[in-house]
Structure 1
Amino acid sequence: MIPTDAIDSGILNSLLFYIMVMGLLLVVAVFIRIKLKVFKKYFIPASLIAGVLGIIFGPFGIGIFSEEMVSAWGALAGILISIVFAPMLLGVKKSENKGKSKLMIRHLIFSYTASLLQIGVPLLAASLLILPFFDVPEIFATIIEVGWAGGHGTAAGMFEVYDALGWDEGGSLAVTTATIGIVFGIVSGIIMINIAVKKGYSAVIKDQKDISTEDTEDIIPVDKQTANSVETVNPDMIESTAFHIGLIGIAIILGWFMQQVLNIFVTGIPLFPLAMIGGLIVNAVIMRTKYSITVDKKTLNRIQGVALDFLILGAVASIQIPVVVEFALPLIILTVVTVGLMMWYFYYLGPRFFPKEWFENAIVHYGAYSGVTAIGLMLLRTADPKMETEAGQGFALRAPLYSPFLGGGLLTAIIPLLVLNSSGVIIGLSALAIVAILLLISHSLGLVKLFGSRENFN
């Protein structure tokens, strides 16, 4: 029997208080977004606003929040990331979309291309422009794919990886790049949609007056409110949400066991991508039984969403401002390189990947790999309000074959390890070589039109 004093009640009380303060910040951020329309116009989430409030009132700002509190928030973010990733492949049923294989493959290769470019180009740019002049580790450039394609969740999860590799500043810088990416993705994406309508790139919106960035309401009226999950088990037995949390817990436990086995061969692999694979295993088992009807994807999404909101708040609020200042110049250089890379990816590769409705198909990826998936879908909704194109469908179909590996998946987590075990140049060139092979094979199969006229491209 565990003695009652085995866990210091003072620690638990402090943690509870810290979480309650996070809740307070989220509520304050909600009303700030409601009152200041600029945040709604540019789709800045309340969790990000709350994180910035945490910085302002934290030890590097006004100093109301103690360093201990903010550090606890950062540690909590590192735990919550497993709860965010574990349900990603849970509740996924066999796709009912038939005859969409070519569309799915195009979106899949376009996704891999984005992440591999965000790995390869920054690593080579760092080797040429940053490492010779600045005192930064060779894994410095890995924060780009972690923060941009991975987002705040992945960046928070990488704290333990960078710490294990001896670079304590890596986590804060990764979260900083994620913040830069999400703001840049939103602002530039809206500008690009306006340009697309003006130049005739858009397949749906033909007049700039039809572009609406405020078609959703922050406070949903009573007559428009709908249930965001369903009860799948009798509440006399167990609350449905608790049952789904249990499934997520099993996924995380499976991920933990995989982590222990992998630690025999290589250390430093974080738990969150393995928790996602654990979720895939749980899903594969339960979907083959009559109990598959007990799994509600919307309930899983709600749990995931709660964890993500608290995660973003904690990750942003715990950014070490002195570290960001120290690495400001190399970070700016790497950001400028990444901005140029994403523009080339969108405007050059986009039309060559998608023979029709290229803008809508490409903008969802641009938003997702600058910020997060939600930003990509938001930009798609702005460019295609009624989802008339196949962009959303293709983007969704590619997810199960992309998310476990890149953009926050297993390969994202081990890239820093690979860089330390070889070199940034080797890993960077390898990533770009894989991109080249993917593009050439796709071109030869008629999936991508890299050279010549795009006529007869289908």
Structure 2
Amino acid sequence: MLPNEVIDSGTLNNLFFYIMMMGLLLVLAVFIRLKFKIFKKYFIPAALIAGVIGLGLGPYGLNLFSEAMVSTWGSLAGILISIVFAPMLLGMRKSDSKGKSKLMLRHLVYSYTASLLQIGVPLVVAALVIVPLFDLNEMFGTIIEVGWAGGHGTAAGMMEVYTDLGWAEGGSLAVTTATIAIVFGIISGVIMINHGVKKGYTSVVKSTEEIKGENKDDLINIENQKLNSKGTLNPDMVEGYAFHLGLISIAVIIGWFIQQFVTLFVTGIPLFPLAMIGGLIVNAIIMRTKYSVTIDKHTLNRIQGLALDFLVLGAVASIQIPVVINFALPLLIITAVSIALLLWYFYYLGPKFFPEEWFENAIVHYGAYSGVTAIGLMLLRTADPEMKTEAGQGFALRAPFYSPILGGGLITSIIPVLVVNSGALLIGLGAIGIVIILLIISHFTGLINIMPSRSVKLSRARSN
């Protein structure tokens, strides 16, 4: 049955005002980043700054923003995530990936390994230590992959799922882990790149001066400004952004119908991964017609980016501080475990997965699974300014086979449901078991070499 609630004008006016206040905070954050260079130095995005300001001015801070306003921002984040996910598979065309299958498979297995480890290890630690020690919900271990690999978008989208499963605190904790992860990922990533340059791990950048020189100005001069979308339709007929937003809307509607069907068998599946499947269906249909030229991927990316900025702002600003304080110690423990796990994943598995240019290939994943894809690409750009290595290409090629499933995809969204039905320990051990099987298969098929070897050095340079 389609939603048929009528929203009164007073509610709409309040919603309009709340969104305008988010816009004000975002502009304020932009000028703060422009003014204070430390935010630029550590690549802190304006949306995150705006969210922290909103949190400080909200009911748990100076109380200038009402509980109703901040709660609405949090609810908007849960809606915007569908707009972020729906266009992910829209506009995909057959690309020339000839000869890149092995590179793509390495990146794909490396991606699955990261997400499955972030599911499995925290669940096992939670089941054996944290849950019995602090008497917490078994779903506590799920917040790491949701917040770290999934990012703020997935964390915001999972708020309703956690509430429906009887653990309302889970949403705020997941957003908190996403905030911790993105700040940690950016700062530690920059430190690791500097360390990697000094140790000779990097293939392209050979001195720290090259890293500093790559920090671009946040203000782009007029002569360097470029168009970031293309017009595919006559503007006399329809505005291009409106048309692309319409395509996204169709994808979300298809996802909603899929959700209604799935709910007949399994409850708790959120809309956003299904909206991505809706986008895939729309893309499959339109790409088989002459109207495929109407889709501009850059325009979709702009709409996606707009939704993501407001999503991050709303998700961070609506964090429930009392909940975070109450869970501070178990949150600290599981965060420390996650940091150690990610560092092992980067420094130990990275060189084994990528025999050449290991640092660049691994750093893009490190950033993506401690923040979002944009952070991973930012770290890659810092280590490989002109994209001379194949890291970016391999990372991109694996996306259609990874993003719909893990790191915020379908499996991520159903893990809490599986934990409720089967227990954290069983699901955690299952995820770790899949990682072991993947590594063994990859080793014996010659994809990677997981056996220790004295001849393998971390500082392998890019072969010419």
* Shared fold (TM-score, shorter chain, > 0.5): yes
Aligned to 1:333: 333
**What SS does the aligned partner of 1:125 have?**
helix
Conserved? CA contact 2:128–2:425, under 8 Å: no
Matched, 1:11 2:20: no
Deviation at 1:213, TM superposition (A): 7.0
Question: Distance in 2 between the 1:252 and 1:283 partners?
Answer: 13
Report the Cα distance in structure 2 between the residues aligned to 1:32 and 1:120, rounded to whole angstroms. 39
Structure 1 moving runs of 4+ over 4 Å: 454-458
1:36 matched to 2:36? The reply is: yes
1:151–1:371: 8 Å Cα contact kept in structure 2? yes
Task: Give the match for residue 177 of structure 2.
Answer: 177
Q: 1:139 to 1:48 in 2, by over 3 A?
A: same
Asked if 1 retains the 8 angstrom alpha-carbon contact of 2:214 and 2:385, the reply is no
The Cα shift of 1:205 comes to 1.3
Equivalent residue, structure 1, for 2:250: 250
Report the 3-state secondary structure (helix = DSSP H, G, I; strand = E; otherwise coil) of the residue aligned with 1:132.
Answer: helix
CA pair 423-39 structure 1, distance change in 2 beyond 3 A: same
After TM superposition, the structure 1 = structure 2 runs for residues 21-32 of structure 1, keeping only pairs within 5 Å, are 21-32=21-32
Secondary structure, aligned partner of 2:133: coil
Report the alpha carbon displacement of residue 186 of structure 1 after superposing the two structures with TM.
0.5
1:233 CA drift (Å): 0.6
1:239 maps to: 239
Offset of residue 215 of structure 1 = 2.4
**C-alpha deviation, 1:128, in angstroms:** 2.0
Paired amino acid for 1:185: G
1:59 aligns with 2:59: yes
Deviation at 1:217, TM superposition (A): 1.8
Q: Following the alignment from structure 2 to structure 1, what is the Cα–Cα distance between the partners of residues 319 and 214?
A: 31
- Report the 3-state secondary structure (helix = DSSP H, G, I; strand = E; otherwise coil) of the residue aligned with 1:370: coil
Instruction: Give the equivalent residue in structure 2 for 1:383.
Output: 383
Taking the aligned partners of 1:335 and 1:7, their CA distance within structure 2 comes to: 41
Aligned to 2:302: 302
**Quick one: which amino acid aligns to residue 201 of structure 1?**
Y
Question: What amino acid is aligned across from residue 449 of structure 1 in structure 2?
Answer: N
Counterpart for residue 369 of structure 2: 369
Give the counterpart letter for 1:259 in structure 2: Q
Asked if the contact 2:214/2:382 (under 8 Å) is kept, the reply is no
The alignment partner of 1:47 has SS state of helix
Is the Cα contact below 8 Å between 1:138 and 1:424 reproduced in 2?
yes
CA-CA distance at 1:6 after TM superposition: 4.4
Structure 1: distance between partners of 2:323 and 2:94 = 46
The Cα shift of 1:135 comes to: 2.3
Counterpart amino acid of 2:292?
Answer: S
Q: What are the within-5 Å matches in structure 2 for residues 8-407 of structure 1?
A: 8-212=8-212, 215-407=215-407
1:366 maps to amino acid: Y
State the SS of the aligned residue for 1:59. Answer: coil
Contact 2:146 2:412 in 1 (8 A): yes
C-alpha change, 1:41 and 1:248, in structure 2 (3 Å) is same
How far 1:454 sits from its partner (Å)? Answer: 7.5
**Deviation by residue 1:196-220 (Cα, 9 ceiling, x = unmatched):** 1111111111122221275222111
Return closer, same or farther for 1:248/1:32 CA change in 2, 3 Å cut-off: same
Aligned equivalents of 1:204, 1:18: Cα separation in 2: 46
Q: What SS does the corresponding residue of 1:450 show, helix, strand or coil?
A: coil
Between the aligned partners of 1:214 and 1:38, the Cα distance in structure 2 is 16
1:156 offset after TM fit, Å? 0.3
Amino acid at match of 1:343: L
Q: How far apart, in 2, do the equivalents of 1:6 and 1:373 lie?
A: 38
The alpha-carbon distance between structure 1 residues 99 and 455, as it changes in their structure 2 partners (threshold 3 A), is: farther
In 1, Cα distance between equivalents of 2:7 and 2:451: 65
* Structure 1 residues 447 and 176: alpha-carbon distance in aligned structure 2, compared to 1, 3 A threshold: same
CA RMSD, Structure 1 to Structure 2 (Å): 1.4
Determine the C-alpha separation between the residues in 2 that align with 1:37 and 1:149.
28
Alpha-carbon displacement from aligned partner over 1:67-120 (angstroms, at most 9, x marks no partner): 000000000110000000000000011111211000000000000000000000
Distance 1:454 1:296, change over 3 A: farther
Instruction: Please give the alpha-carbon distance, in whole angstroms, between the structure 2 residues aligned to 1:274 and 1:454.
Output: 47
Distance of 1:54 and 1:213 partners within structure 2? 33
Q: 1:452 offset after TM fit, Å?
A: 3.8
How far apart are the structure 2 equivalents of 1:156 and 1:397?
A: 27
| TM score, norm. by length of structure 1 | 0.98
SS in 1 for 2:212: coil
- Offset of residue 132 of structure 1: 1.7
Match of 1:415 in 2: 415
How far, CA to CA, are the matches of 1:215 and 1:419 in structure 2? Answer: 43
Q: Is the 8 A contact 2:194 2:208 kept in 1?
A: yes
User: TM-score under structure 2 normalisation?
Assistant: 0.96
1:129 Cα deviation after fit? 1.9
**Distance in 1 between residues matched to 2:84 and 2:112, nearest whole Å:** 21
Q: Deviations over 1:231-276 (max 9, x none)?
A: 1011111111100001000000000000000000011100000000
CA contact (8 A) 2:353 2:448 kept: yes
3-state SS in 2 of match to 1:393:
helix
Which string of whole-angstrom CA distances, capped at 9 and with x for unpartnered residues, describes residues 120-165 of structure 1? Answer: 0000111222112102100001000000000000000000100100
Letter in 1 for 2:322: P
Alpha-carbon separation, structure 2, partners of 1:242 and 1:236: 12
